Amino acid sequence: MIVVANVLVALVALIHIYILVLEMFLWTTPRGRAAFGLTPEFAEQTRALAANQGLYNGFLAAGLIWGLITGSLSAKIFFLVCVAIAGLYGAATASKRILYVQAAPAALALIFVLIAG
């Protein structure tokens, strides 16, 4: 069970690394704009905000990776809860899709981490 939990934690970390890349480096590119449904003008105007947002996603990924490397149950739980809350907030304020991309994987990983304890 711990292996499944750790694979799910790693998947959530990888999702957030991908989000970091999209927000920090690809925001104004066709791929970045398509991922977030942005016009070129809006993407350019919000580039700095997106990079900041991407950095925070990177911190979430780093925390999850730290939990995996150290085996820290409390780190995994803390960062998965942070991801889930961020996903719920994003789904409520930005796009319902965030519920499935961010919150649901984090909640699933959290359930498995708690069961594997």
- pTM value is 0.94
Residue 9 confidence class, pLDDT cut points 50, 70, 90: very high
- What is the reported pLDDT for 115? 97
Mean of the per-residue pLDDT values for the chain?
Answer: 97
Separation in Å, CA 67 to CA 5, 9, 21, 64? 12, 9, 21, 5
Domain that holds residue 36: 2-116
Closest Cα partner for 108 from 17, 11, 14?
A: 11
- What is the reported pLDDT for 110? 98
**Looking at the 3D structure of the chain, how many domains does it have?**
1
- What is the reported pLDDT for 14? 98
- List b or e across 68-93, with b for residues whose CB sees 16 or more CB atoms inside 10 angstroms: beeeeeebbbebbebbbebbbebbee
Q: What are the tens digits of pLDDT across the range 39-82? A: 999 999 999 999 999 999 999 999 999 999 999 999 999 999 99
